[in-house]
């Protein structure tokens, strides 16, 4: 479903971004992206949701091709991807409920259903008591949970999670990874960039792709 | 439909979310349109004042002593038929004597036992003919009449007025157009600035898959609301100032401002349209 | 000292860092001060124009036929000594006849074989006395003189002028003060807005232990620079417009704008001071 | 050196912030603050650098007392504390060098020395090749490293590190914790809020304070 052919994206610098990426991720793959800081994990994910386009090579997600995609098709692609950003990217001027609900409005859900779904998901992620908080008043872990909720709620075909447990306590981390695992078992691809090898161990059937200096060093 | 409703609500909420930046946009629209409105009124009234000065311009046509009553009547009929003439009055010898008394402080009959002053016509032209070229052509036509002794008018007054009228008209029109231009620059840049302060929201929305229209709609609604609110405040302010002037400052400035509904309708529409176009233009920069 | 130097450099860098917001501040100062400067010039010239209209006001004093040459001379001496009088001319019987010819289109000698017109004085008052109250007191004083037959002046003209002069003066002064007020509001709020868009920087600096002065200094320097730049652009623009008007549009508007250095000095100072005070006031809100 | 007496700071809410905190941290303590998300770890740190003042009770750091401190003394206090924020709080409009250097300007160092010190510290933390990058162009881990550099460079009497390794790879995490340990051995207090029990194990002589629901549940 996701296909990288000889991709490079280096931000005009020698030692930034990624290069020589060849990769194939299937519709039901659970992939861990590991590697030291600055290895290029986030860049690889950005290439998938087409926040940056490759300088070289071809990225293909379903039938969206990086060399042919039109500006107005990018939102269509992104609506099918659940993204958890490393820096959360919550909307500061909206409360927790609104931050999560907007994901559904963007995908054109029905209002009544939206309300129920959002509250259900927030309760499930232990954010029920923070529904009306603005991000500034949340703890670090709570913010990350909201970011996760926003991605999971929209029933995407692939989930990209960039360091999704960096601010979570171990129990919450395991819960999140288990949820991702469950989603993966519903035949959705999941790609998690992480430094936490405890997580990696938790999903025994996962593929592990190691990056270093912008290149893939090993792939299982 | 549900999404449309959501976006409209978001537009209204944006008024609050934009905080200081949104209030600032409203303030700018308010101030700008107040100035623009007052500028229009002052300009209009100044032009009117100049025109009413010009209304004082008249032509004096002195009739020969020897002219018969009949010939004078013929001439009067001719004047009446003239396209360029707005109005005229006949000043008989008696009236001329009264005028002499006013001008020279003497009763003519106390000096002489007859009246040497000639009768005359006092002529007002229609406004558009109150310029040197028209006046000269009319007077040269009229001077053909044998009843006429001489035609007098304040050529200097006319020349001066024509000159100043043009200056004033150019300056006022120029200033007003400049003001319009500046208002547009100011309002649209303020909106851009307000949206600039929320560019993070825009980029995040893009990243989570919102279409450009989805992002744009609330900002545009918000822009229109801000424009509308600012313009309404401006209308209120202009109305208030005019009311104050007309009702409480009459004794001081002796000047009455005339207001009518179209002025306010234009202001409010202008504000709203500026909010619309300004936000469309601004959001394009950050999409 | 090293820190002071660092803070000054930060102030200059802030011009770039503030990006759109900083450019917008400069734009606002530019536009505002251009309007303010043009407003001042237009106001000044309008008041001057009204005053020069008023300079046309004169008083005609008709002398008795019977007055002796000597008495007339005495009266002229009296006029010369009067504090209120700016200038006067004597119109002899002959000159009066010429005037009659102009006004009534007739040679007086062609009507009569003698000249019935009285000699007169034409009197100009000093500007500050060109008002109804002074004129009335002066004329009533003068009418005591036995040589005088009658005193005439255009009372209506005076009344009208006095009324309009006051209106114009009030409107211009009011509009100018309003403009100043608006400029201050506008500039200081724009600076506040620009600083608002960097409130995160301020709060982070506070959190890592910067004193208020440390945070404030670069913003204030930046504000002064923005004010200075905006005001310089405004000065340039005003100069440019005046130059255009004086050198290339003379044929169209026949109006010359007089500029002098103090105007520009005032504009630039005003802009810089506004930048200073505006940023001091704005930063206080976010510290 | 740091003393909490019956402190509460709850942001006007029942279940937010911290309460009933009694705590004493010595000048050469190495303290781990652990606890689930939303337990109050960050709030406790904020109380130390007086970003929030207690609703109740007394916080005392050296001779700064929360009940008597004047507005203008707070910067003095903060200049003696090295803070690593959970969300980094880098200055977006400055590059890496400037972000770190400003810490020294605030403490009134000499310029020549500043330049050398900053470059040295950045090289030491493997950021030498990112000196001129703006934060937006850094990877998550690199951002965190810059935040760490800014705190460590100013030679404070106490370091507060809020989840300082959430975005770091394991090697970098260990390096950071070892550096903190070294600093601690120069008789400076270090307080680290973390979820990473590998870190806790790495400093055997550290005190461990556990928080839950805003209250201290155990303290060693
Ligand atoms: N927009 C950009 N411009 C220039 N360089 C960039 C940009 N984005 C990333 N880089 C550089 O590219 C390299 C890879 O970045 P990336 O964010 O992909 O790393 P990562 O593997 O996600 O690291 P981390 O684990 O720290 O998040 C980094 O060294 C970073 O500095
Ligand atoms: N300014 C605030 N207003 C209201 N509630 C707040 C505020 N700051 C924090 N809280 C709440 O107080 C609780 C404790 O927050 P704190 O940030 O101290 O948690 P934490 O232990 O640091 O958690 P994490 O590990 O997730 O960072 C959280 O539930 C949070 O929602
Ligand atoms: Mg990353
Ligand atoms: Mg925290």
Partner-chain contact C171 B106, CB within 8 Å: no
Q: Is the pLDDT of residue C79 over 90?
A: no
* Residue C7 C-alpha, separation from nearest chain B C-alpha, in angstroms: 25
**Residue ranges lining ligand 1, Cβ < 6 Å:** A 11, 13, 16-17, 35, 37-43, 86; D 130, 137-142, 167
| pLDDT of res. C258 | 82
Which residue's CA is the nearest one to ligand 1's atom 29? A38
Choice between C111 and C39, residue whose per-residue pLDDT is larger? C39
Using pLDDT thresholds of 50, 70 and 90, give the confidence band for residue C161: confident
Decide if D37 and A142 are in contact by the 8 Å CB cutoff: yes
pLDDT of residue B67: 79
Ligand nearest the Cα atom of residue D169:
1
Q: Which ligand is nearest to the CA of A194?
A: 1
DSSP per-residue string spanning B53-97: HHTT--EEEEEPTT--HHHHHHHHHHHHH-TTEEEEEEE-HHHHH
Q: What is the pLDDT of residue A176?
A: 94
pTM of the model: 0.84
What are the φ/ψ torsions at residue A218 (nearest 5 degrees)? -155, 155
Q: Which of A75, A89, A109 lies closest to B209 in CB terms?
A: A75
Cα C250 vs. chain centroid, distance in angstroms? 21
Question: Quick check: C186 pLDDT over 90?
Answer: no
Average pLDDT, chain D: 93
Instruction: State if residue D103 touches ligand 2 by the CB under 6 angstroms criterion.
Output: no
Tokens of B13: 């909420």
Q: How far is D37 from chain A (nearest CA, A)?
A: 5
Q: Average pLDDT, stretch B55-73?
A: 82
CA distance B2 to chain C (A): 33
D95 lines ligand 2 (CB under 6 A): no
Comparing A153-157, B120-124, C109-113, the range with the smallest average pLDDT is: C109-113
Partner residue facing D42 (CB), from A38, A140, A163: A140
- Average pLDDT of chain A to the nearest whole number: 93
D and A make contact (3+ CB pairs below 8 Å): yes
Whether D95 and chain C come into contact, CB under 8 Å, resolves to no
> Which one of D14, D21, D34, D39 would you pick to mutate in the ligand 2 pocket, going by the greatest count of ligand atoms within 8 A of its CB?
D39
| Cβ distance of A162 and D169 shorter than 8 Å | no
Residues of C at the D interface, defined by Cβ within 8 angstroms:
2-3, 5-6, 17, 198, 200-201, 204-212, 214
Q: What is the mean pLDDT of chain B?
A: 85
A110: closest chain B residue by CA: B2
**A-interface mutation test, from B8, B20, B207, B215, most A Cβ less than 10 A away:** B207
pLDDT value for B254: 67
Q: Give the mean pLDDT of D30-45.
A: 95
Q: Residue B105: pLDDT above 70?
A: no
Comparing alpha-carbon positions, the chain C residue that sits nearest to B194 is C193
For residue D148, the model assigns a pLDDT of 96
Contact A38 D162 (CB under 8 A): no
For B3, which of A91, A94, A105 is closest by C-beta distance? A105
Of B5, B208, B212, the CB nearest to A83: B208
Question: Chain A, 142-201: which have a CB under 8 Å from a chain B CB?
Answer: 150
pLDDT value at position C254? 67
Identity of the residue in C21, C62, C102 whose CB atom sits nearest the CB atom of B193: C21
What token pair was written down for A37?
């800081």
What chain B holds in terms of domains, given with CATH numbers, is 2-53+161-286 (no CATH), 58-153 (3.30.70.3040)
**What is the structure's pLDDT at D14?**
85
Least confident interval from A37-41, B77-81, C254-258, D116-120: C254-258
Nearest CA-CA partner of D68 in D83, D80, D54 = D54
> Residue B28: is its pLDDT beyond 80?
yes
Q: How many cross-chain Cβ pairs, A to B, lie less than 8 Å apart?
A: 56
Q: CB–CB of C239/C259 below 8 Å?
A: yes
pLDDT at D73: 93
pLDDT band for C253, please (50, 70, 90 cuts).
low
Statement: residue B150 has pLDDT above 90:
no
pLDDT-derived band of residue B124, with 50, 70 and 90 as boundaries?
confident
Q: How confident is the model at residue C140, as a pLDDT? A: 84
- Per DSSP, D163 falls in state S
CA distance B5 to chain C (A): 30
Residue B285 Cα to ligand 1 midpoint, Å, equals 26
Per residue in D2-34, pLDDT tens? 999 999 999 988 889 999 999 999 999 999 999
Does residue B268 contact residue B235 with C-beta atoms inside 8 Å? Answer: yes
Q: Is D13 in the pocket of ligand 2 (CB under 6 A)?
A: yes
pLDDT of residue A160: 96
Query: Is the per-residue pLDDT at C252 higher than 70?
Result: no
Q: Which atom of ligand 1 is nearest to the CA of A35?
A: 21
Chains in touch with C (≥3 Cβ pairs < 8 A) = B, D
pLDDT at B275: 93
**Residue B1: which pLDDT band, with cuts at 50, 70 and 90?**
low
| Subunits close to B (at least 3 CB pairs below 8 A) | A, C
pLDDT value at residue C60: 85
Element (DSSP H or E) covering residue D109: none
* Confidence class for position C30, pLDDT limits 50, 70, 90: very high
Q: Counting ligands in written order, which one lies closest to the CA of residue A195?
A: 1
Sequence-distant (≥ 6) Cβ neighbours of residue C145 within 8 angstroms: C75, C78
Chains in contact with A, where contact requires at least 3 CB pairs less than 8 Å apart: B, D
Least reliable range by pLDDT among B105-114, B138-147, D91-100 = B105-114
Closest ligand 2 atom to residue D39 Cα is 21
Question: Does the beta carbon of D110 lie under 8 angstroms from any beta carbon of chain C?
Answer: yes
Question: Can you tell me the ipTM of this complex?
Answer: 0.86
Look at phi and psi of residue A214 and say left if phi exceeds 0, alpha if psi is from -120 to 50, else beta.
Answer: left
pLDDT per residue as tens digits for the range D109-164: 777 788 999 999 999 999 999 999 999 999 999 999 999 999 999 889 999 999 99
Task: Answer whether A6 contacts ligand 2 (Cβ < 6 A).
Answer: no
pLDDT band at B253; cut points 50, 70, 90: low
With beta carbons under 8 A apart, name residues in chain B contacting C49.
Answer: 164
Q: Do chains C and A touch (3 or more CB pairs under 8 A)?
A: no
Neighbours of ion ligand 3 (CB under 5 A): A 42, 86; D 139-140
In the block, tokens 């200055």 appear at D91
- Chain C within 8 Å of B47 (Cβ-Cβ)? no
Contacts of A171 in chain D (CB under 8 A): 36
Residue with tokens 């106001």: C43
Q: How confident is the model at residue B252 (pLDDT cuts 50, 70, 90)?
A: low
Can you tell me the mean pLDDT for A134-141? 95
Q: Please list every residue in chain B whose beta carbon sits closer than 8 Å to the beta carbon of residue A162.
A: none
Are D83 and C208 inside 8 Å of each other by CB? yes
What pLDDT is stored for residue C164 in this prediction?
Answer: 76
Q: How many angstroms is it from D170 CA to the middle of ligand 2?
A: 26
Quickly list DSSP for A141-170: HHHHHHHHHHHHTT--SEEEEESTTTTS-H
Alpha helices in chain C (DSSP H): 2-17, 19-54, 69-81, 93-104, 108-111, 132-142, 155-196, 199-207, 212-247, 250-253, 261-286
Residue C175 in this model has a pLDDT that exceeds 80: yes
Q: A209-218, B8-17, C89-98, D138-147: lowest mean pLDDT where? A: C89-98
The contacts of residue D54 (CB under 8 Å, 6+ apart) are D7, D8, D9, D47, D66
> What does the pLDDT read at residue B260?
83
Spatial CA neighbour of C57 closest among C3, C144, C123: C123
The per-residue pLDDT of chain C, averaged, comes to: 85
Place of tokens 């020969």: B64
pLDDT at C111: 66
User: Would you state the pLDDT for residue B111?
Assistant: 67
Q: Which of C2, C209, C212 sits opposite D106 (nearest CB)?
A: C209
Residues of D within 8 A of A166 (CB-CB) are 140, 163, 166-167
C159 or D65, which is more confident: D65
Question: Which chain A residue shows the shortest CA-CA distance from B6?
Answer: A105
Check pLDDT > 90 for residue A100: yes
Out of A22-26, A138-142, B39-43, D42-46, least confident range = B39-43
Which of D34, D133, D166, D211 to substitute to test the interface with A, most A CBs within 10 Å? Answer: D166
Token pair for B140 = 């040269």
Q: A176-189: per-residue pLDDT in tens?
A: 999 999 999 999 99
Closest CA–CA distance from residue C254 to any residue of chain B (Å): 7
């Amino acid at each position: 479903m996701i296909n990288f052919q000889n991709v490079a994206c280096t931000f005009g610098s020698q030692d930034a971004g990624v290069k020589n990426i060849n990769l194939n991720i299937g519709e039901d793959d659970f992939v861990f992206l590991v590697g030291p800081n600055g290895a290029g994990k986030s860049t690889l994910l950005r290439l998938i949701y087409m926040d940056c386009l490759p300088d070289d090579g071809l990225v293909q997600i379903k039938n969206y091709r990086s060399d042919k995609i039109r500006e107005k098709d990018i939102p269509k692609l992104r609506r099918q991807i659940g993204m958890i950003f490393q820096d959360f990217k919550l909307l500061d001027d909206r409360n927790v409920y609104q931050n999560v609900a907007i994901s559904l409005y963007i995908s054109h859900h029905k209002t009544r259903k939206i309300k129920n779904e959002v509250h259900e998901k927030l309760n499930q992620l232990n954010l029920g008591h923070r529904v009306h908080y603005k991000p500034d008043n949340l703890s670090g872990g709570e913010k990350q949970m909201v970011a996760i909720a926003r991605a999971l709620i929209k029933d995407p075909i692939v989930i990209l999670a960039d360091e999704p447990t960096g601010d979570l306590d171990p129990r919450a981390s395991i819960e999140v990874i288990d949820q991702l695992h469950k989603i993966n078992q519903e035949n959705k691809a999941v790609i998690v960039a992480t430094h936490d090898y405890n997580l990696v161990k938790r999903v025994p059937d996962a593929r592990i792709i190691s990056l270093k200096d912008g290149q893939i060093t090993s792939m299982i | 439909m549900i999404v449309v409703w959501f976006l409209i609500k978001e537009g209204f909420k944006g008024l609050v979310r934009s905080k200081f930046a949104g209030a600032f946009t409203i303030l700018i629209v308010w101030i700008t349109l107040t100035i623009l409105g007052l500028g229009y009124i002052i300009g209009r009234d100044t032009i009117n004042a100049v025109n009413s000065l010009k209304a004082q311009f008249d032509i004096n046509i002195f009739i020969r002593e020897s002219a018969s009553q009949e010939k004078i009547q013929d001439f009067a009929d001719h004047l009446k038929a003239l396209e360029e003439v707005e109005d005229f009055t006949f000043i008989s010898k008696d009236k001329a004597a009264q005028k002499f008394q006013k001008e020279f402080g003497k009763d003519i009959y106390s000096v002489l036992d007859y009246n040497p002053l000639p009768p005359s016509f006092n002529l007002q032209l229609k406004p558009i003919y109150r310029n040197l070229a028209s006046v000269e052509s009319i007077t040269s036509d009229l001077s053909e009449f044998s009843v006429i002794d001489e035609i007098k008018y304040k050529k200097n007054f006319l020349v001066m007025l024509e000159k100043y009228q043009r200056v004033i008209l150019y300056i006022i029109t120029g200033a007003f157009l400049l003001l319009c231009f500046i208002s547009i620059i100011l309002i649209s840049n303020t909106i851009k600035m307000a949206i600039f302060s929320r560019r993070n929201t825009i980029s995040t929305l893009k990243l989570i898959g919102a279409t450009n229209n989805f992002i744009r709609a609330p900002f545009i609604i918000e822009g229109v609301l801000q424009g509308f609110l600012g313009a309404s405040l401006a209308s209120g302010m202009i109305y208030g100032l005019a009311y104050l002037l007309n009702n409480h400052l009459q004794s001081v400035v002796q000047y009455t401002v005339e207001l009518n509904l179209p002025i306010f309708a234009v202001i409010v529409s202008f504000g709203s349209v500026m909010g619309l176009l300004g936000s469309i233009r601004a959001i394009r920069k950050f999409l």
